[in-house]
Amino acid sequence: MSQTTASMPGATKEHAPERRPKASRPRLRRRHVTGLIFAAPLIVYLLLFYAYPLAVNVSMSLRRFTRATYVTGEAPFAGADIYKEVLASPQFWPTVEQTAIFVVVSLVFQYTIGLALAVFFYRNFPLSTVLRGLFLVPWLLPIIVSATTWQWMMDADNGILNRFLGLFGVDPIWWLNADNSLWAVIIANIWLGIPFNLVILYSGLQNISKDLYEAAELDGAGPWRRFWSITFPLLRPVTAITLLLGFVYTLKVVDIIWIMTTGTGKSQTLATWAYGMAFGKGTSAVIKYSQASVVGTILLVIALVMGLVYLAVQRREED
């Protein structure tokens, strides 16, 4: 999760910013042209470097690519066959389940911890701004850096995590082996996602009117009551956006998992599965471009749906 999603203000509304009641026709057309000229580089870029790669991805999922046909480019058309194969493969449903666990558990903890920290930092105290800034660091670091550090901290024999748990008499845990790897990458991913949740929820808190809290305090509502009756309900729109974006980002995570475990064992998610089938070095002798594209296309469809949901949420907020 190393991105933020930005959107344009009022873009969902019908009107263009400068629409005037009686623009004469030729003038209107000239303004169209000017606008399109300024937007042209973006349009070209979107077509060449978004639409085209995505179309290639989808077309690869419909044709049977092997190493040989990949080079010649004459892969036979397979229709939905590869989709059926992927869905029927013994790996598919376990991977979907692991992906669901990865996403849901990560989100629940990222959000809860992020919200708790946002509430904590909300009442300014000495150093609070500096400390809040420091909380951003994990989010801005290259993920490969964080992932290798966690990998070493979770080393079974020499990792600091097991050594710490050992103080309480816990036997060494093989964090990165097949069975535990899902939990290992979830822990690291929660850590990575906390800053994002903290920052967004914090700015959400700032938009809640202080008067409400003062009124509630006068009515004798304690901090707990104030949180559940004011903060939490009023944060709902921000919560919706945070969780939605969190879902999208967590679903597409590859690097943290790949670097810690190369997606082995239970830590395989849909995204790392696709990555591994196409690019995994050493993990499989056969490169399965078409199968990887099938999984990729499934992820693409989910992204499209989430984009629509995002728009719907945004529009409801604007109304």
Q: Which of residues 79-138 bind other proteins (CB under 8 A)?
A: 117, 120-121, 123, 125-128, 131, 133-138
Per the listing, tokens 């994002």 go with: 196
Among the listed ranges 1-9, 95-103, 167-175, 211-219, the one in contact with other proteins (CB under 8 A) is: 1-9
Under rule CB under 8 A, residue 160 binds other proteins = yes
Which residue, 197, 204, 208, is CA-closest to 243? 197
Per the listing, tokens 């992204």 go with: 303
**Residue 135 or 227: which CB sits closer to other proteins?**
135
**CA–CA separation, 159 vs 153, rounded Å?**
4
**Residue 6 or 88: which CB sits closer to other proteins?**
6
Least distance in Å: CB of 254 to other proteins? 5
In the list 22, 26, 157, 210, the residue contacting other proteins (rule: CB under 8 A) is 157
Under rule CB under 8 A, residue 167 binds other proteins = no
Burial degree of 287 (CB within 10 A; 0-12, 13-18, 19+): middle
In the list 242, 261, 267, 268, the residue contacting other proteins (rule: CB under 8 A) is 242
Among the listed ranges 89-97, 176-184, 218-226, 300-308, the one in contact with other proteins (CB under 8 A) is: 300-308
The set of residues, in sequence order, having a beta carbon less than 8 Å from that of 223 and lying 6+ positions away, is none
- How many residues interact with other proteins (rule CB under 8 A)? 115
Under rule CB under 8 A, residue 76 binds other proteins = no
**CA–CA separation, 252 vs 299, rounded Å?**
8
Beta-bridge partner residues of 65: none
Task: List the structure tokens of 296.
Answer: 């990729």
Among the listed ranges 5-13, 76-84, 91-99, 223-231, the one in contact with other proteins (CB under 8 A) is: 5-13
Per the listing, tokens 């670097």 go with: 259
In the list 22, 38, 68, 319, the residue contacting other proteins (rule: CB under 8 A) is 38
Task: List the structure tokens of 23.
Answer: 């623009």
165 vs 170, 171, 187, CA distance in Å?
5, 8, 15
Least distance in Å: CB of 165 to other proteins? 13
Under rule CB under 8 A, residue 255 binds other proteins = yes
In the list 35, 79, 223, 233, the residue contacting other proteins (rule: CB under 8 A) is 35
> In a 3-state reduction of DSSP, which class is residue 38?
helix
Under rule CB under 8 A, residue 78 binds other proteins = no
DSSP assignment, residue 267? G
Among the listed ranges 55-63, 81-89, 175-183, 216-224, the one in contact with other proteins (CB under 8 A) is: 55-63
